[in-house]
Structure 1
Amino acid sequence: MALQEEIDKTRQEIRTDNYSMSIGELISLYEKNEIDIHPDFQRYFRWSQHQKSTFIESILLGIPIPAIFVNQREDGIWDVIDGLQRLSTIYEFVGLLKPESTDEETSFVKLQETHYLPSLKDKKWNDPNDPDNSLNSTQRLLIKRAKITVNIIEKESDQMIKYELFQRLNTGGSIATHQEVRNCILLMLNKDLYHLMRSLADRPSFKNCIALSDRLYEQQYDMELILRFILLFDRTEENLKQLGGDVSEFLTARMREEALKNGLDYSHIEEAFDVTFNLLDQTIGDDSFKRYRKEDEKFLGGFLLSAYEVVALGIGYHYKHPLPPDQILQQIKMIWSDSTYKKWSGAGVNAARRLPYLIPLGRKGFSP
């Protein structure tokens, strides 16, 4: 297909509109449940109190607010694709942001001192019990009358457009990692698959074996490891050779494909996962994916992804007939002196190049 034909075809699949709305109107939409900022996404809502305060400062000073993007659902409700942080800050500041669970109370923001408006310190929207630290009616009107451009992806558009747009707008932004963006896409596409992944990530045996740092947990790296297991443990070796150049793009694309399939039975995935990590936890625990030094007969350092790709995916592939624990431990130790592992697990070897070698290595090594 010629370039212009591709352009014309895809443009026809995207129906958009945009207009300017006041913050007061966006507040009203939220009160009427006519806009959905996805409460599930709030775990990835990372703006600090300082960021929230400077955003409110910008509104009061009349600095233009970047546009937000929404998708219009079949029921007419708007799903927020980009603008979660801005809208959540507004709704939280005015005391409307709905808590994630019924046990939580609606939060109220006290602003911090900012560069141009140091007197914003401790200011609230409107607290009858603390009028001196509340915005006055004029200041509240300044905020409610401020305008934001709303770009609308209309319901007639191709169903994948909003997920593509969400990924492009949020990767590298306030949502910091590719996996956090994947989590949000998955919540929009297939909550059952998301909840399965979350359930697997919360298994004590898995957590014991991967022994990640707090920083990696915050970045949802445990969920990326789950996704890698689901998508790769039983993938054919021929398909492994077709990963392409970017494993991150592969994970996102294959996850979306899986999420769009209806009526999938995930029981074999859960069984393979539980067999793998229960065995590892019983056998070697938090040394499962650490470097083994034969000279000292010790496992050293932290989690290594290349070891995970060999060990977890190798055991998982044979989950119906796993090796006994003593043989698993012996095989893990042998991996570190294997020439194929040494060649393809070193620095400078990207994932797309190493996986077609390391995954078969694990399958062969842990074969019954």
Structure 2
Amino acid sequence: MSLQEQIEKKSREIHTDGYGMSIGEVISLYRDGDIDIHPEFQRIFRWKIGQKSRLIESILLGIPIPPIFVSQRDDGVWDVIDGVQRLSTILQFVGIYRDHNSSLVSPDPLEATEYLPDLAGYYWEPRELGSKCFTSAMQRDFKRSKIEFRIIRKESDRNAKYDMFQRLNSGSQLSPQEARNCLLVMLNSGMYADIDNLSDYFNFKNSITLSDQKESQAYRQELVVRFFSQRAFGGSETELKKEYGEYLTDWIRKVAEDDDRSSTGVDSETFKLCFGLIDRALGEDSFRRFNGTRHLGPFSIAGYEFISSGVVYNMDRWADRPLELADRIRAIWTSPDFRDNSGTGVSPRRRVPRLIVRSRIFFAEG
């Protein structure tokens, strides 16, 4: 197939429209449930009041803001795939935005901005006695302001909106897992909720100590995803055909679109049993290097891959033997199976399949 034929084929698979819409119309769409802003995204995208104030300033001054990208679902509802924070900021400011529990989110007073220093302390409507708020004329002008929308129509290829999301956010400040979380929310919000809940499970958190930076980048949720993708791995020690981050994203998309997640997806009971065993064995030292005398250093991702893969594959063997499991975990740090495949020179796409396969054998022994 020639390049021109490829272009023509793919362009026929993605159908888009574009037009401007007033903020008043957007407010009506939101109230009627015709646009899904995915309130779960609020835990992923973190705008501060200064950023929110600058957006309101831009709208008031007629400064163009980037277009909102949405995808039309089969039921006609618009799924927001880029622009969640912009829309939620506007809706929160006018006092109608609801969080993932359907509770109204109280608006914050705006801050002074570069061009509108007197914007400080303003609300859409009065909040308390003496609070500053927009006049009726200001509210009307605000609601008449236009936002550009780009719509991926429902007859487009089913993967179009997810591919679009990844491309639009490839240069953003999202961590890899935060981007995957957004995909999960759009694909299967129940699966996202399961992973989010498990990332806060006591035994799991107690056995894994992370830096504040890692905690803020949804890394604990990534570890939950890694656990289940490792458990489902059915390949050999051969190097993965793609980079490991891409492999994880593809795995999530595949499982999230499958109605039956019982065997290869999110099995909460198995996860809790596995980390209950690991936590009882070594607690916060579970994934820290052992030098023969004591545990030291930070959390080891290679140690996590090896230990969690091996233990979950052999849980019946270690169910009532926490002290012996502790000894077996400590033994990995001198084992050639682990040591020779986890150094800094071993890429994740080579390391992960080797560690998974060898860990299942290693924890079957002892």
Give the TM-score normalised by the residue count of structure 2: 0.91
On the 8 A contact 2:195/2:266 being kept in 1, the answer is: no
On the 8 A contact 1:30/1:36 being kept in 2, the answer is: yes
Give the secondary-structure state (helix, strand or coil) at the position aligned to 2:317.
Answer: coil
Among 188, 191, 197, the alignment partner of 2:189 is 191
Number of paired residues?
A: 363
CA distance in structure 1 between the partners assigned to 2:89 and 2:197 by the alignment: 30
Name 1:284's counterpart in structure 2: 282
Identity of aligned residues (%): 43
CA distance in structure 1 between the partners assigned to 2:127 and 2:176 by the alignment: 43
For each residue in 1:110-166, what CA deviation from the matched residue of structure 2 results, as whole angstroms up to 9, or x when unmatched? 100111211111011121755761122333333222221100011111122112212
Over 3 Å counting, the alpha-carbon distance change for 1:318 and 1:228 in structure 2 is same
Name 2:158's counterpart in structure 1: 159
Over 3 Å counting, the alpha-carbon distance change for 1:60 and 1:154 in structure 2 is same
Shift of 1:245: 4.1
On the 8 A contact 2:238/2:354 being kept in 1, the answer is: no
Name 1:275's counterpart in structure 2: 273
Name 2:331's counterpart in structure 1: 334
Over 3 Å counting, the alpha-carbon distance change for 1:2 and 1:223 in structure 2 is same
Over 3 Å counting, the alpha-carbon distance change for 1:62 and 1:320 in structure 2 is same
On the 8 A contact 1:182/1:252 being kept in 2, the answer is: yes
Give the secondary-structure state (helix, strand or coil) at the position aligned to 1:96.
Answer: coil
Name 1:308's counterpart in structure 2: 304
Paired residues for 1:200-215 under 5 Å: 200-215=198-213
Name 2:64's counterpart in structure 1: 64
Name 1:141's counterpart in structure 2: 140
For each residue in 1:185-230, what CA deviation from the matched residue of structure 2 results, as whole angstroms up to 9, or x when unmatched? 1122223322332333232111111122343233211111111111
Give the secondary-structure state (helix, strand or coil) at the position aligned to 2:66.
Answer: strand
Name 1:81's counterpart in structure 2: 81
Report the residue type matching 1:350 in the other structure: S
Give the secondary-structure state (helix, strand or coil) at the position aligned to 1:107.
Answer: coil
CA distance in structure 2 between the partners assigned to 1:262 and 1:132 by the alignment: 50
On the 8 A contact 2:239/2:350 being kept in 1, the answer is: no
Name 2:344's counterpart in structure 1: 347
Which consecutive residues of structure 2, in runs of 5 or more, have no partner in the other structure? none
Paired residues for 1:46-65 under 5 Å: 46-65=46-65
On the 8 A contact 1:171/1:177 being kept in 2, the answer is: no
Name 1:360's counterpart in structure 2: 357
Name 1:2's counterpart in structure 2: 2
Paired residues for 1:257-276 under 5 Å: 257-266=254-263, 269-276=267-274
* Alignment pair present for 1:256 and 2:253: yes
Q: Output the aligned Cα RMSD.
A: 2.2
Report the residue type matching 1:157 in the other structure: S
For each residue in 1:71-96, what CA deviation from the matched residue of structure 2 results, as whole angstroms up to 9, or x when unmatched? 11222221111110111111111111
* Alignment pair present for 1:97 and 2:97: yes
Over 3 Å counting, the alpha-carbon distance change for 1:191 and 1:56 in structure 2 is closer
Report the residue type matching 1:206 in the other structure: F
On the 8 A contact 1:171/1:178 being kept in 2, the answer is: no
Give the TM-score normalised by the residue count of structure 1: 0.91
Q: Which moved more, 1:253-262 or 1:133-142?
A: 133-142
Which consecutive residues of structure 1, in runs of 5 or more, have no partner in the other structure? none
